[in-house]
Amino acid sequence: MSLFLVNRYLGEDGDEESPTKESHSQALLLKLQQKAKERQRKNLAEHTNKKTIKNKNKAGSQHLQKDKKRKLESDTEEPIDSKEEKERKERRQCRSDDCLCILVESTEGSEDVQEREEGTRQAGTADKSDPGFAVLGGFESEPVAKVRRVLPQWLAHPDVIQRDIKGHLVPVCNVAGLSSNLINKLHHNGIDHFFPVQAEVIPAILEAAQQGLLIGRGGYRPRDICVSAPTGSGKTLAFVIPVVQVLMQRVVCHVRALAVLPTKELAQQVYKVFSAYAEGTSLRVLVLAGQRSLSAEQASLSEYRAGVRRSQADIIVATPGRLVDHINKKSGLKLDQLRFLIIDEADRMIDSMHQAWLSQVVKATYGTGGGREASSIFSRSEAACATAASLSPPQMPLQKLLFSATLTQNPEKLQQLDLHQPRLFSSTHRQADATVPAAQKAERFDFPQGLSEFYVPCTLSRKPLLILHFILRMKLSPILCFTNSRQAAHRLSLLVKLFGDVQAAELSPAVRKNTLKDFQQGSIQLLISTDAAARGIDISGVKCVVNYDAPQYVRTYVHRVGRTARAGKSGLAFTFLLGVQEKNFLKMVMDAGSPGIQKQIVKSESLKGMEGRYERVLQELAERIRVHINALFY
């Protein structure tokens, strides 16, 4: 008995009765052979089908290539704007050729790609830019377009200040937000109208402090303000008035405004204006500029009351050097409640970041106050990127206010001041030349409208005679005269005094106050100075400025000639030029935006009458110098 039963498949007919076993297996074999032949035929038919499709594809892609080639040829017939455009087209062509190559190769391997290409072909050649398949490659370097240098938006589009002062006066009471006390004081000081710069800037500062001292508008830090307006346009009052107005509402005395100026004289001048408008309020103004000893200044800064050190100043006017001394020596100057940082003559302050004064002030402002709760509005952290998180706890704002007649337009320089969303008020509005880098661009400034500029061709030896001619014959006094060195100022002063008939003085630090007073009262006809008095100094009644030595830099020129034609008045500026200086000097002045400098020729005949006397004076001066030297050395 067999252990297993083997059942063999005999086909569909297996169960049918068949005459013999052999005939049955032969029939089965025949059937299988037929099926195999059928399958072979089918395969053959499929293969031939594929071949024809492939041939069609090849023909199609060649057609595409021809099309592109034709298009390129027609493109080249058109005038090509530039070399760059041509190169770009060539590269585009090159890339599309690459794509085609990839496409042709891939058709041999993949049916999917074949189908997709078929689709593309059917869609026609209308949309050639969109091949409809993934483009491999294309990593070749693109021609990098030249960087277009443009000014930041805030520098390129400032709030425009009208240059014409007289035509754009705004009555004091038209500016909202000023207390009657302050308005009365303005009237008392002879100011019934605001100048254009004041009418624009005062409301902007007041608006930022609408919510009081501790919090910015809407809880945000106010925008910093930059002001670029001509010399004598009234920039000082543009910051003094709003700062006094805002601080008037304070309860506790803390240093809340700090004005930094480059020189002692300027600090003293601004201190006087602050004091005049703070008078009658509880605000205290202090100057830290080195006129007094450090310990005397320190004593006036704060006092001990009920065991606590309390500030004795709300507004401080300082020079950077003295300011840093007080911060480093921890002399009681606390800036942790500082609300306004005013930087006057800002371009000069940027150029000479003396002892990195700004970073020291910022450190003193944000460094303390950490002991308080993090969410307190009294706590301060130095501004970084503005994020939702960084803005959520309200902070006591610090606002920077920059003023200058020659504010730089160089964003890299301004960046040093770390301004927060700055807003520029400027009377010089011009489109930036995008092709010239900021560093190479000749900076342009605004000149006072009432200023008439002249240059006088001369020789070195005739310069003193020309000055005498201006005073004695042309009656142009009082003249403020600038030399490039103290020696030249001293020499000229001696010469003119020896000549006689002219009241002359040198503006030296020792006798500065009295000299300025005499000059303003008209008892000095010729005041000779170096560039120490060129910036910011406000001397009333200067009819004429003479550049006895031509200034080397255009900014120096702008500030020197800006000592006249102030507050909307008219004035004259003469520059004595040697033959070799003429071309470069005139180019420098015109590039800086001067409305025009005219030639003033003084004929030799005009000086003839003075020449004999002048020669004698020269000999006398030489003799005096010889005697003086002998007395010194023998």
Ligand X SMILES: Nc1ncnc2c1ncn2[C@@H]1O[C@H](COP(=O)(O)OP(=O)(O)OP(=O)(O)O)[C@@H](O)[C@H]1O
Residues that bind ligand X (CB under 6 A): 191, 193-195, 198, 231-237, 405, 536, 538, 562, 566-567
Q: Compare residues 195 and 277 and give the one whose CB is closer to ligand X.
A: 195
Cβ within 8 Å of residue 418, ≥6 positions away? 362, 383
Q: Compare residues 233 and 395 and give the one whose CB is closer to ligand X.
A: 233
Q: Compare residues 464 and 536 and give the one whose CB is closer to ligand X.
A: 536
In whole angstroms, how close is the CB of 418 to ligand X at the nearest point? 24
Q: Provide the token pair at 235.
A: 């920039």
Q: Compare residues 327 and 402 and give the one whose CB is closer to ligand X.
A: 402
Q: Provide the token pair at 160.
A: 């425009």
Q: Provide the token pair at 472.
A: 């004695």
Selection from 165, 245, 243, 234 nearest residue 198 by Cα: 234
Q: Compare residues 266 and 495 and give the one whose CB is closer to ligand X.
A: 266
Crossing angle between the packed helical segments 235-247 and 264-278, to the nearest 10 degrees: 50
Q: Compare residues 360 and 409 and give the one whose CB is closer to ligand X.
A: 409
In whole angstroms, how close is the CB of 566 to ligand X at the nearest point? 5
Q: Compare residues 403 and 548 and give the one whose CB is closer to ligand X.
A: 403
Q: Provide the token pair at 372.
A: 């308080």
Q: Are strands 544-547 and 504-506 parallel, antiparallel or unpaired?
A: unpaired
Q: Provide the token pair at 30.
A: 């025949």
Cβ within 8 Å of residue 408, ≥6 positions away? 347, 350, 414, 443
Selection from 185, 68, 80 nearest residue 129 by Cα: 68
In whole angstroms, how close is the CB of 416 to ligand X at the nearest point? 21
In whole angstroms, how close is the CB of 194 to ligand X at the nearest point? 5
Q: CA separation (Å) from 608 to 16, 89, 465, 535?
A: 151, 75, 10, 36
In whole angstroms, how close is the CB of 87 to ligand X at the nearest point? 51
Q: Compare residues 242 and 536 and give the one whose CB is closer to ligand X.
A: 536
In whole angstroms, how close is the CB of 560 to ligand X at the nearest point? 10
In whole angstroms, how close is the CB of 403 to ligand X at the nearest point? 7
Cα angle 530-532-534, degrees, rounded to a multiple of 5: 85
Q: Distance (Å, rounded) from C-alpha 506 to C-alpha 163?
A: 33
Q: Compare residues 195 and 455 and give the one whose CB is closer to ligand X.
A: 195
CB 244 within 8 A of CB 283: yes
In whole angstroms, how close is the CB of 261 to ligand X at the nearest point? 10
Give the number of other CB atoms < 10 A from CB of residue 98: 15
| CA 148 to centroid of chain Cα atoms | 17
Q: Are strands 170-171 and 193-194 parallel, antiparallel or unpaired?
A: antiparallel
Selection from 453, 477, 461 nearest residue 599 by Cα: 453
In whole angstroms, how close is the CB of 195 to ligand X at the nearest point? 5
